[in-house]
Amino acid sequence: MSGWHVRVIRLSRAYSWALVVRFGSMNGSLSCRVEQLSSAKPEAIYDSLMDVERWSEFMPTVSAASWERRGEPDTAKGGVRRMRIGLSDIRDLIVDGSRPHHHAYAASLPWYMLLKDYRGDIRIEEVPNGSRIVWTVTCVSRILPKKSVKSRLEASYANLAAALAHEAEGVTRTE
C-alpha cells in the first residue's frame, strides 16, 4: 500500500511536531543472514536464547527484556517476549521452534521505526566441536534504501549472534 502518513505530536500548546513518512512498496522486502560458529553445544545456545530475562546482560543494545506471555514449554511457541532497545519497546511473537535447533519470531515494531513485516529465524546446527548459529531476518524498509538497511541489519545481527555464542560458551564452561 503506497501513500503518505502524517503523525502530529503535540509537544505543548504552542509547539507541535509532525513526522511525515512515505510508505510504499518501492523498496520491497529485504533479508539478511549471518552465521556464527560457537564451541557451545546447541542446547547451551538455545537455553541462552530462551533466558530472555538475562538478555540485557549480554545482548548488545538490549537494556531490558522479559516474557510478557510465556508460550509452550521448551519452545515458547505462542509466547510474547518484550525488549527495550534504546527508547523503543519491541514485542516478538514466537511463531515456531524446536528445542534445541530452531526458533522463529515475528516482531511488532513501533509505528515510527523504519521497518515493518519483520520476521526472524534462528537455526542452531550441530557441527564438529560445537554449533553454527544461522540467524536470518526478513523485513520491509519503509523509506530507506535497501542497501543501507541491509548493511545495518547484517552488522547488528552479527553482533547479536556473536554475543549469543559467547554467552553460551560461558554457560558451558561453568557447568
Helix (H, G, I), strand (E, B) or coil at 164: helix
Angle between helix 146-174 and 42-50 (nearest 10): 110
Q: ∠ CA 95-143-141 to the nearest 5 degrees?
A: 20
Residues contacting 133, CB < 8 A, separation 6+: 35, 36, 37, 38, 45, 122, 123, 124, 161, 164, 165
* pLDDT reading at 2 higher than 50: no
- Strands ordered across the beta sheet of 102-108: 29-38, 130-141, 115-127, 102-108, 88-98, 80-85, 62-69
Verdict on whether the full-model pTM lies above 0.85: no
Give percent of the chain above pLDDT 90.
58
CATH numbers and ranges of domains, the chain: 26-174 (3.30.530.20)
C-alpha closest to that of 118 among 71, 165, 156: 156
Looking at residue 61, what DSSP letter applies? T
| Per-residue pLDDT band at 18 (split at 50, 70, 90) | very low
Give the residue with greater pLDDT, 106 vs 11: 106
Contact yes or no for 22/143 (Cβ under 8 A): yes
Instruction: Give the pLDDT score at 12.
Output: 45
